[in-house]
């Protein structure tokens, strides 16, 4: 565990293969770390340059000033064994390797190179993350792997990913959807530090409240089971398993050389430990948003507010199918709602139409009245930008509606999830992003679909009910 200190608190970072060519990955690492405001020393390593992006460069790790706690490298695989020797000579504590072409190729040369690299590393104290990985994003200290949509702010979600692509995607997509991260670790082939090491660390990490992971296969079965038991006792653990099918298993083998194992065994393990399994990254983001923002619901009686007609019929079907209960509102609540929805054609049974109540104040009252119903445990507010804009003439009224949803939601104390949709035409997109951001900043999760929201909410309720039973 001591090695983790240097991963998560390096005093200095060397980037082997640093360059000012924007098409190279060595440039991405440099600029991302600079953008995120890393406070320690940064040493570009490049035998052909005296400086990179205005920072003094060194020909090899041996030539850079000490201490070098953390080295990031993307140089070709055949040059890696020599570079690991340099790491030992320079006292590097952690080496993070983007470089691919090792055991994941399934070819003798790649396997041999990876073994040689590990053998050399174990002569000293250098620990390896990767190879064939993006490495670590740790916004609190400014450690980063990519520059698009990477939030500067920290948050309570850790993501552990055997895939660099997914580490990148969840950071980007999740970042835009309001998820903020404690640490994201892409660990690739896991030739040294592996999922078990990171999971153990994250289970005890005070910055991390929820652990998410993308895992194809594990290196150390018994150790992983122990770490998973520890982690699930302390925090919600959400896992996306890659290689669930025969085709996926083959792809995983050629991706990180992972032996994915029998999916039935995996599923049984997850059930036993209370792991929240998801089917894709969107489902993962939905579930993380629920854990990030929502108070604990008392049950699964949901009230859906907004839109109407076929969209509400489908919303009811989606909620039911996910396991939630669309609770018919009792007469006294309907009587209250009736006072503010005098127009014909407005359904107030649940789902409640918003078709004729695009006044922000009526939205506020609808939520307040509905949430006052003792039997209702959670609320879903459902809006499309096109509907609002075409019937009201502008984004301003949608913003006022949003502010009233937020005000009512905060007052009720019950979980309020927002589903915000748009067909995505260019003139509407900016308004959509701003409206979504408005909800995030106020601490409300925004989901792209009712079906997705319903699945996430149902699992969120289930998780808390299971915990309640065992505590």
206-225 binders of its own copies (CB under 8 A)? 214, 216
Q: Tokens representing 305?
A: 């507010």
Question: Interface mask (CB under 8 A) for its own copies, residues 369-388, using x and -?
Answer: ---------------x-xx-
User: Is residue 328 involved in binding its own copies (CB under 8 A)?
Assistant: yes
| CB-based contacts of 387, cutoff 8 Å, min separation 6 | 307
Q: Tokens representing 239?
A: 């896992």
| CB-based contacts of 302, cutoff 8 Å, min separation 6 | 319, 324, 325, 326, 327, 376, 377, 378, 379, 380, 454, 457
**Residue whose CB is less far from its own copies, 63 or 109:** 109
**Residue whose CB is less far from its own copies, 209 or 437:** 437
CB of 65 to its own copies, least distance (A): 31
User: Is residue 399 involved in binding its own copies (CB under 8 A)?
Assistant: no
Distances (CA, A) of 187 to 133, 196, 209, 316, 326: 5, 11, 21, 41, 42
Identify which range of 250-258, 292-300, 361-369, 406-414 contacts its own copies by CB under 8 A.
250-258
Q: Which of 5, 35, 59, 148 binds its own copies (CB under 8 A)?
A: 148
CB of 449 to its own copies, least distance (A): 8
Pick out residues in 433-462 that bind its own copies (CB under 8 A): 433, 449, 451
Q: Tokens representing 450?
A: 């009712």
What HEC string does 220-254 produce?
Answer: CHHHHHHHHHHHHHHCCEEEEECCCCHHHHHHHHH
Pick out residues in 26-55 that bind its own copies (CB under 8 A): 28
Q: What are phi and psi of 376, to 5 degrees?
A: -80, 125
Pick out residues in 289-318 that bind its own copies (CB under 8 A): 307-318
**Residue whose CB is less far from its own copies, 4 or 357:** 357
User: Is residue 277 involved in binding its own copies (CB under 8 A)?
Assistant: no
CB of 269 to its own copies, least distance (A): 18
Identify which range of 36-44, 100-108, 364-372, 403-411 contacts its own copies by CB under 8 A.
100-108
**Residue whose CB is less far from its own copies, 430 or 466:** 430
User: Is residue 262 involved in binding its own copies (CB under 8 A)?
Assistant: no
Q: Tokens representing 380?
A: 């879903």
DSSP at 310: H
User: Is residue 255 involved in binding its own copies (CB under 8 A)?
Assistant: yes
User: Is residue 132 involved in binding its own copies (CB under 8 A)?
Assistant: yes
User: Is residue 323 involved in binding its own copies (CB under 8 A)?
Assistant: no
State the residue for tokens 């409300």.
444
Q: How far does CA 219 lie from the centroid of its chain?
A: 23
- Say if residue 67 is preceded by a cis peptide, omega within 30 of 0: yes
Q: Which of 136, 238, 252, 420 binds its own copies (CB under 8 A)?
A: 252
**Count of residues binding its own copies (CB under 8 A)?**
89
- Say if residue 131 is preceded by a cis peptide, omega within 30 of 0: yes
């Amino acid at each position: 565990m001591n090695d983790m200190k240097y991963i998560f608190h390096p005093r200095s970072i060397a980037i082997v293969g640093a360059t000012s060519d924007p098409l190279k990955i060595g440039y991405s690492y440099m600029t991302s770390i600079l953008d995120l405001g890393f406070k320690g020393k940064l040493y570009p390593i490049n035998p052909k340059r005296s400086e990179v992006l205005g920072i003094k460069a060194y020909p090899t790790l041996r030539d850079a000033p000490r201490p070098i706690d953390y080295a990031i490298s993307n140089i070709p695989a055949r040059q890696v064994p020599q570079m690991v020797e340099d790491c030992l000579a320079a006292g590097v504590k952690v080496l993070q390797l983007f470089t691919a072409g090792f055991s994941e190729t399934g070819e003798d040369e790649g396997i041999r190179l990876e073994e040689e690299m590990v053998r050399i590393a174990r002569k000293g104290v250098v620990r390896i993350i990767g190879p064939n990985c993006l490495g670590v994003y740790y916004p609190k200290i400014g450690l980063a792997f990519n520059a698009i949509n990477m939030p500067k702010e920290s948050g309570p979600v850790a993501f552990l990913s055997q895939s660099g692509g997914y580490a990148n995607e969840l950071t980007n997509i999740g970042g835009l959807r309001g998820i903020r991260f404690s640490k994201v670790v892409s660990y690739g082939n896991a030739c040294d530090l592996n999922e078990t090491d990171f999971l153990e660390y994250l289970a005890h990490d005070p910055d991390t409240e929820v652990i998410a992971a993308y895992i194809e296969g594990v290196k150390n079965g018994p150790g992983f089971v122990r770490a998973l038991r520890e982690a699930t006792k302390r925090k919600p653990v959400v896992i996306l398993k890659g290689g669930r099918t025969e085709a996926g298993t083959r792809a995983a083998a050629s991706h990180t050389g992972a032996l994915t194992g029998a999916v039935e065994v995996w599923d049984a393990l997850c059930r036993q430990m209370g792991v929240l399994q998801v089917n894709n990254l969107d489902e993962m983001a939905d579930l993380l948003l629920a854990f990030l923002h929502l108070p604990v619901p008392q049950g699964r009686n949901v009230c859906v507010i907004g839109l109407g007609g076929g969209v509400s019929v489908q919303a009811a079907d989606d909620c039911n199918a996910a396991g939630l209960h669309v609770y018919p509102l009792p007469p006294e609540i309907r009587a209250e709602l009736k006072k503010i929805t005098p127009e014909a054609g407005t359904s107030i049974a649940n789902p409640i139409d918003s078709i004729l109540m695009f006044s922000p104040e009526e939205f506020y009252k609808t939520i307040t009245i509905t949430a006052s119903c003792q039997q209702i445990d959670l609320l879903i507010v459902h809006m499309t930008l096109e509907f609002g804009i075409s019937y009201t003439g502008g984004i301003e009224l949608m913003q006022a509606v949003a502010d009233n949803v937020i005000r009512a939601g905060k007052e009720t104390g019950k979980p309020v999830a927002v589903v915000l949709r748009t067909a995505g035409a260019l003139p509407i997109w900016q308004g959509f992003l701003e409206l979504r951001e408005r909800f995030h900043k106020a601490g409300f999760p925004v989901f792209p679909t009712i079906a997705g929201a319903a699945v996430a909410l149902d699992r969120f309720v289930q998780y808390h009910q299971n915990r309640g039973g065992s505590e």
